[in-house]
Amino acid sequence: MILRPYLFAETACASYLFGCSSGSKLAVVDPHEALVEEYLSEAERVGAPIVAVFETHVQADHVSGLPALVEATGATPYLPVGSGVEFPHEELDDGEQVELGNTHVRALATPGHAPAHNAYVVSDLRRGTDEPWLVFTGDSLLVGDVGRPDLHAGGDPLPLARRLHASLVRLLELPDGVSVYPSHYAGSVCGRALSGNPFSTIGFERLHNPALAAEDPEAFARALLVDVPPAPADQAEIVAANRRGALPARR
């Protein structure tokens, strides 16, 4: 399996190109519109096509590169069930799996930051096991923090905050050694106290992430709504564009 992280400093967004080079099947998770050419160039260098694009959720802080990638490659777009987007796509329900050669991707429903949100648990059969190796957590579990629940709440974020608690419990059932690759790091407004280290493990977050300390869902939910940063600039316009599957303007 290959894995290439892409860190977009302007909005502290992380996206990932990954997949099976021997099986000639690559995918991108939470692509950023500004990085589409970089994903395509790396896929060409590796010598394998991008056949899938995964969104963990409808993004609120940046325009997605999914439409441009799908147009350029013919890749299948995958989103969580109930995302409410207006373009053709495949919905991945909890537990459903996509095979990219020896790289297997399993959807894990993790609502809370958004009502429709998946993490993607990845295994590599070339390791001789189907045990998970890494998880793309989107805006659910972050490094040193968790995703804010108010951006997609429609007024009252407490119900989503409670759902996020249950989702994090599910993520923490993964083995300690599973690598955590979230979609944001320090500098993003999608959390409050994100680490400058963009990557982690389940075990490290279990021990050191203060947002996971509250075992009671109600206490967790209320603590999560303290000192929430301002919403992303142009949030409504960004969400609307991502729901439509808007392509960037031609330059």
Q: What is the pLDDT of residue 249?
A: 58
CATH code of the domain covering residue 180: 3.60.15.10
Four-residue CA torsion sign, 185, 187, 189, 191: positive
CA distance linking residue 208 with residue 195, whole number of Å: 11
Torsion angles phi and psi, residue 33, rounded to 5? -55, -35
Q: Is the pLDDT of residue 107 over 80?
A: yes
Span 65-105, pLDDT tens digits: 999 999 999 999 999 999 999 999 999 999 999 999 999 99
CA distance linking residue 161 with residue 231, whole number of Å: 16
Which residue range is the domain that position 62 belongs to? 2-228
Q: Is residue 112 part of a domain?
A: yes
Q: Is residue 207 part of a domain?
A: yes
Span 176-188, pLDDT tens digits: 999 999 999 998 9
Confirm if 161 and 149 have CB atoms less than 8 A apart.
Answer: yes
Confirm if 133 and 123 have CB atoms less than 8 A apart.
Answer: yes
Q: Is residue 248 part of a domain?
A: no
Q: Is the pLDDT of residue 250 over 70?
A: no
Q: Is residue 241 part of a domain?
A: no
CA distance linking residue 169 with residue 182, whole number of Å: 16
Confirm if 164 and 109 have CB atoms less than 8 A apart.
Answer: no
Predicted TM-score of the model (pTM): 0.96
Q: Burial of 130 by CB count in 10 Å (0-12 exposed, 13-18 middle, 19+ buried)? A: exposed
When divided into structural domains, the chain yields a total of 1
Q: What is the pLDDT of residue 251?
A: 39
Q: Is residue 188 part of a domain?
A: yes
Residue type (1 letter), 96: E
CA distance linking residue 90 with residue 94, whole number of Å: 13
Q: Is residue 250 part of a domain?
A: no
Q: Is residue 244 part of a domain?
A: no
Confidence of residue 128 (pLDDT cuts 50, 70, 90): confident
Q: Is residue 242 part of a domain?
A: no
Q: Where are the alpha helices (DSSP H) in 11-103?
A: 36-46, 66-73
